Structure 1
Amino acid sequence: MRETRPFKITRMSSPAPRSASSAPETSRRDAVRSAAEASVPAALGDLGRLVRIPSIAFPGFDRAEVARSAAAVKELAEGLGIFDRVEVKTAVIPETGAEGMPAVLASRAAKNGKPTILLYAHHDVQPVGDEALWESAPFEPTVRDGRLYGRGAADDKAGVMAHIGALRALVEALGDDFDLGVNLFIEGEEEAGSASFAAFLRENADALRADVIVVADSGNWDADTPALTVSLRGNARFTLTVKTLEHASHSGMFGGAVPDAMLATVKLLSTLWDEDGAVAVEGLRERDAATPDYSEETLRSEAGLPAGVSPIGRGTILSRIWNKPTVTVTGIDYPSVRNASNTLTPELSLVISARVAPGQDAREAYEAIEAHLRAHAPFGAELTFSDVDCGNPFLVDTSGAAVAEARAALETGYGTSPVDIGVGGSIPFIADLVSEFPAAQILVTGVEDPHARAHSPNESLHLDTFRRALVSEALLLESLDSGADGGEAA
């Protein structure tokens, strides 16, 4: 029988800080690693507390829960006792004038010429979807078979706690007077599109400025093998409304002569893909880059693809996921099965989410899709485009010294060499980070494994992967603190 139990919070009392001089240089790394291993139970306990907060930043959900989540993260940051200031802050969304969701910002100045690191994660989560598909309540953290289940358990409250746990280990091993500068930025609206992110960066640039930025919002090759994400696809998301009639009409009286909106939409959408399921939109580009071996069997296991359903697209499987564009219909407003009637529907709306290959501007990709749809609209259907949201793809510069330090820390923490991976998903705000801090080295890491099911029912965190990720980050912090002088911040 599988082990299934509610996840109970266990809090660890704060250790008495020791000075950095109490840890001899030869034993610093071992002391940090031991402290990191010991900090995992408390970090998981705090993670359970965060998972219980339904911090969904989407319109229509309770903003107060996002504020409650931010307050809980602020308390965790304050408990470290290392920051010069810890604040919950918001920024105004330029396009609408509305207030963005609360983020937590903490900063600690570097000393003695050491570098500053910015640790990023987000405390907001996706909606739960159909709760009936969850094997346990989405906001009741539950352990089954070595995994912690709950919305946000992996994406990205585990990222929050990897940062907090790693900093706890650094303080436990070295005391609170280490020289490394640390800025902590825990965003509150990443899942909802980071609408105020760019404004937040501009308004808080001095508090966020860093030489190295760690974004803990990606994944690993598998549960045992760490990864650095070196490429991310961009995204272009929009709402398409298709209209063919001034009003609804009886499908028996006029069907066969009058096109309804669904007929037009089905014919229109079918032009977006070829017979292999590959995107067939002129102007969408792909990246030419080698990919590691990855079998169809692995794809079926990780994606839940049944034996009778064929994969789509052409080329290596990972090239389709990492380096080629996609177009997906993710939502539709149309009468439900329950409300079906013999009616020709005059218009419908649907959400189209496209992934943009690294190297192509997301706005350019959106314009190519819009042009394609307009050119292929059947029966003279009227098309309206709204709620356009674009985020650019990202390619990491892996030549920096911090990348080498991160790889060494991951190899020690996981016990196996890390791999460089691309990710089919998007983290659009990274382009904003590059724009605001062009000299910073950006490391995209994560605590997820391929079975985490982020954004889906039964999202989960592999507990041993979390432990290794926390240890690795603590070792990276120690390495940056003990290394050569960092010079000017970015």
Structure 2
Amino acid sequence: MQSNKTAELSALVEKSITARFDGYMDQLARLVAIPSIAWDAFDPSNLTKSAETVAGLFRELNFFDEIEIVSAPTEESGQGAPAILARRQAKNGKPQILLYAHHDVQPPGDLSVWNSEPFELKILGDRAYGRGAADDKAGILVHLGSLQILQELSEIDPDLGISLFIEGEEEAGSPSFENFLNLNAKKLQADVIIVADSGNWTTEIPAMTTSLRGLVAQTFTIKTLDHALHSGMYGGVVPDATMALIKVLAKLYNEDGSVAIDGLETFKVQPLPYTTEQLRVDSGLLPTVEPLSKEDHLQALWGDPAVTVIGIDMPSVELSSNTLQPAVTAKVSLRIAPGQNPETALALLREHLLKSAPFGSQIEFGENEAGNPYLDDPGWAKKEFQNALQQSFGVEPVDMGVGGSIPFIASLKKIFPSAQILITGVEDPDSRAHSPNESLHIPSFKKAIQAQSLFLLGISQTHPQE
């Protein structure tokens, strides 16, 4: 039950956001129009333009002591993408809050599958379509809007400390992330970190993300010959690398499609109602195809390991010939349960691949990556944010897991071990982040700004104790 004071503040916040909301949608259209893709194959000047545009929006607030566009070196001796960094120091014992989002986006993919131009915001009903509309340019504007409301509705200049980090390479794997954190640790130091890069349970039920699976990926080449052969002259006697690869990849799975790699851990997730029918709607599963999990789909999505073959290098159908291949290369992606050590999982994956190699074929390992899973450690900030979500959405929020990985969360926890991390966001099951026709549910966007505004206003007036 809301107190009269809480209800009054919530009404004021909603009124202010409503008055500003057309402006937020215009700003979102400006950001979506910039193809800020941090992959090497795309024009890096768009990342610079995006960073400058975002920095300009926050400079208009006249809130921060300084706002910079900075980058950091990568582990491969390159230079990372431009990021926006700002800080306003806390005063009089108030907490320091770090607001994180990212301004880079995924490539558009197959343009023929889009129902609109990917880099042009298109509104249809209660959804806004465009690359980055949900992931994560709306997240940037949640931060911007909540700071505007904090300024407008604070009776005096707020003593709350705010740091800002808008990354420019999250979709490219954050290659300079840890270097950036180490180089700018003093400016980023915070009591609470709000990561606006996740989503809600539904468009009606808000959520906080409390667990993430980790990620292990391994590229490997399998060899059976020292040169290619005519498939008619030697086929049926000489095993080629393609045959060997098919057998290796098939052994990643049990007969029911579950992961066959021994030694991997699982994590028991909290149950939420989720039917097979809803899974079909959310995933686009064809009517004739059965899901791998038969009952507890969320356990399989959030708490169990999953393996996917994400790439194979061999001749395309267009360039194919009657040839036995001497060597082919594949990349395997393994999602690991919260609590699983990624180095251990990588060793188990490699061991499994080696044991599966048939006919004495040889496996050589190439590049690999490993990202830690995440489990939240709830404190006072989570409780306050849950209250703000309930005021904004009108229903009690839920804790949810995410089957995907956000490896930089573990980096934040490593470098700022005492900080409470809150993972929020504006996405919903139909946002289709990373896919064609990515979209933002506009009412959820508005409520997300309201919730974060209420959180910041609340803790700026009364700092809850742990």
Instruction: Tell me, yes or no, if structure 1 residue 69 matches structure 2 residue 37.
Output: no
Counterpart mapping for 1:69-108 below 5 A: 69-94=50-75, 96-108=76-88
Q: 1:86 to 1:276 in 2, by over 3 A?
A: same
Matching of residue 223 in structure 1 with residue 197 in structure 2: no
Q: 5 Å matches for 1:262-341? A: 262-313=242-293, 316-341=296-321
- 1:158 to 1:449, Cα distance in 2 relative to 1, 3 A: same
Aligned mates of 1:481, 1:316 — CA distance in 2:
41
Match of 1:481 among 450, 453, 460: 460
Question: How far does residue 28 in structure 1 lie from its aligned partner after superposition?
Answer: 4.8
Other-structure match for 1:410: 389
Cα drift, residue 351 of structure 1:
2.1
Q: CA deviation at 1:38?
A: 2.5
Instruction: Summarize deviations over 1:303-327 as a string: whole Å, max 9, x none.
Output: 1112210001455100000000111
Post-superposition Cα deviations, 1:231-273, rounded to whole Å, max 9, x if no partner, equal: 1101112322222222222211111122222211110000111
2:163 to 161, 164, 183: 183
1:197-212, aligned counterparts within 5 Å? 197-212=177-192
Cα distance in 2 between the residues matched to 1:176 and 1:132: 53
Give, in whole Å, the separation in 2 of the partners of 1:359 and 1:486: 28
Which amino acid in structure 2 is aligned with residue 480 of structure 1? Answer: I
- Unpaired runs of 5+ residues, structure 2, are none
Letter in 2 for 1:82: F
Q: Counterparts of 1:485 and 1:84 in 2: how far apart (Å)?
A: 25
Question: Residue 431 of structure 2 corresponds to which residue in structure 1?
Answer: 452
Whether 2:380 is the aligned partner of 1:380: answer no
Is contact 2:380-2:465 (8 Å) kept?
A: no
In the alignment, the residues of structure 2 paired with residue 343 and residue 407 of structure 1 have an alpha-carbon distance, to the nearest angstrom, of 60
In the alignment, the residues of structure 1 paired with residue 8 and residue 60 of structure 2 have an alpha-carbon distance, to the nearest angstrom, of 26
**1:143 matches 2:123:** yes
Identity of aligned residues (%): 49
Q: Could you tell me how far apart the structure 1 residues matched to 2:313 and 2:218 are?
A: 14
Query: Contact between 1:149 and 1:458, CA under 8 Å: does it hold in 2?
Result: yes
SS at match of 1:218: strand
* Counterpart position of 1:11: none
Matched residue SS, 2:406? coil
Superposed CA offset, 1:78-137 (max 9, x none): 11110001011111113x111111111111011221111111011111122212111112
SS of the aligned residue for 2:171 comes to: coil
**Which stretch of structure 1 is more off in the superposition, 206-215 or 167-176?**
167-176
Q: Would the alpha carbon gap of residues 242 and 131 (structure 1) be closer, same or farther in structure 2, given more than 3 Å must change?
A: farther
Contact 1:276 1:314 in 2 (8 A): no
Q: Identify the residue that residue 400 of structure 2 maps to in structure 1.
A: 421
Q: Bigger CA drift: 358-367 or 334-343?
A: 334-343
Conservation of the 8 A alpha-carbon contact between 1:112 and 1:485: no
State how far apart, in whole Å, the 2-side matches of 1:471 and 1:28 are: 11
How many residue pairs get aligned? The number is 462
Deviation, 1:176, is: 7.9
Deviation at 1:36? 2.5
| Counterpart-to-counterpart distance in 2, 1:75 and 1:290 | 42
Matches within 5 A, 1:357-376: 357-376=337-356
Q: Distance in 2 between matches of 1:464 and 1:336?
A: 45
* Structure 1 range deviating more: 36-45 or 407-416: 36-45
Encode CA deviations 1:441-467: one digit per residue, 9 max, x unaligned. 111011000011111111111111111
Is the contact made by 1:113 and 1:485 (CA closer than 8 Å) also made in structure 2?
no
Counterpart CA distance in 2 for 1:246 and 1:137 is 48
Displacement after TM superposition at 1:346 (Å)? 2.1
- 2:210 counterpart SS class: strand
Q: Does 1:117 align with 2:97?
A: yes
- Work out the CA distance in 2 between the residues paired with 1:86 and 1:256: 67
Distance 1:25 1:452 in 2: 31
For residue 18 of structure 1, what is the aligned residue in structure 2? none
Residues 362-419 of structure 1 deviation map (CA, whole Å, 9 limit, x = unaligned): 1211111111001111122222222211110000012x11111100100111111100
Give the SS at the match of 1:191.
helix
Query: Superposition RMSD on alpha carbons, in Å?
Result: 1.8
> Is 1:242 aligned with 2:236?
no
Ranges in structure 1 where 5+ consecutive residues have no aligned partner = 1-23
User: Does the CA contact (< 8 Å) of 1:82 and 1:176 recur in 2?
Assistant: no
Distance 1:299 1:174, change over 3 A: same
1:15 counterpart residue number: none
Task: Mark the CA change 1:25 to 1:112 in structure 2 (over 3 Å): closer, same or farther.
Answer: farther
Cα 1:176/1:124, change in 2 over 3 Å: farther
What residue number does 1:50 align with?
31
| Cα distance change on mapping 1:369 and 1:176 into 2, 3 Å | farther
Aligned counterpart, 1:8? none
User: CA 1:181–1:132 in 2, change beyond 3 Å: closer, same or farther?
Assistant: same
Q: Quick one: which amino acid aligns to residue 100 of structure 2?
A: Y
Amino acid paired to 1:238: Q
Matched, 1:39 2:20: yes
CA distance in 2, matches of 1:174, 1:137: 40
- Equivalent residue number for residue 13 of structure 1: none
Residue identity matched to 1:397: D
Q: Contact (CA 8 Å) 1:234, 1:358: kept in 2 or not?
A: yes
Equivalent residue for 1:465, pick from 425, 440, 444: 444
Post-superposition shift, 1:157? 1.0
